Amino acid sequence: MQRTLAIVKPDAVANKNVGEIVSRIEREGFRIVGMRLVNLSRREAEGFYAVHRDKPFFNDLTAFMSSGPAVVLCLEAEDAISKWRTVMGATNPENADEGTLRKQFATNIERNAVHGSDAPETAAVEIAYFFKGVELV
Ligand code: CMP
C-alpha cells in the first residue's frame, strides 16, 4: 500500500466541485486516511511549492493557492501516486484525457483543480506538511 497527498485546489472549491471530486476518489478505490479544509497563507503556499521557487509561475501559483479554501487529503491505495496522477490527468487541461478530473474541472494550467504528489519522497514530505501522524487514520 502507498500513500499520496491530494489537494482540491481553491478554484475547484470555489466552483463547488469538492463533492464530485471526493466521490470520484472513493469510486476509484482510494481509502481516505486524512482530509481537511485549509486556507493557506501566502507563506504556507510558498513552503509547499518551494521546489518551484525559481520558476516564472511561482508568484502567481502561490497567490492562487492562498486565494481561498482548499481541501487536502491523504489517499491510500496500491500505487496511489501514479493511480491518482492518472485520475487527475495532465497538468495542463488542454492535454488532459477525457474522463480525467482536470479535463472535467480545470480552467488552465494554473487553475487546474487538483494536485497530486509526483514521487514517494515528495509524497512523504507533502503528507507531513499537512498532517500529523495521529491525524491519519
Ligand atoms: P501541481 O500539480 O499543483 O504542481 C505545480 C503546479 O504549478 C502545477 O500543478 C500547476 O498548477 C502549476 N504550473 C506548472 N507549470 C506551470 C506553468 N507553465 N504555468 C503556470 N502554472 C504552472
% pLDDT > 70, the chain: 100
The DSSP bridge pattern shows strands 70-77 and 31-38 to be antiparallel
CB 105 within 8 A of CB 89: no
* Catalytic residue flag (residue 115): yes
101 Cβ below 6 A of ligand 1: no
Domain ranges (residues) in the chain: 2-135
How many whole angstroms from 49 Cα to the centroid of ligand 1?
A: 10
pLDDT tens string 75-97 = 999 999 999 999 999 999 999 99
- The residue-averaged pLDDT of 105-114 equals 98
Q: Is 122 in the pocket of ligand 1 (CB under 6 A)?
A: no
The CATH code of domain 2-135 reads: 3.30.70.141
On average, the pLDDT of the chain sits at 98
User: What does the DSSP 8-state code read for residue 127?
Assistant: H
Q: How high is the pLDDT of residue 91?
A: 97
Eight-state DSSP code of residue 88:
H
Q: Is 102 in the pocket of ligand 1 (CB under 6 A)?
A: no
Q: Give pLDDT tens digits for 19-48.
A: 999 999 999 999 999 999 999 999 999 999
Task: Report pLDDT for 85.
Answer: 98
Q: Which three cell numbers stand for residue 52?
A: 518551484
What is the grid cell recorded at 7? 489537494
In terms of C-beta density within 10 A (0-12 exposed, 13-18 middle, 19 or more buried), how is residue 105 classed? buried
In contact, 118 and 85? CB cutoff 8 Å: yes
- The CA-atom distances, in angstroms, between 76 and each of 65, 90, 100 are 24, 21, 19
Residue with cell 485546489: 9
Could you tell me if 109 and 91 are in contact, meaning their C-beta atoms sit under 8 angstroms apart? yes
pLDDT at site 5: 98
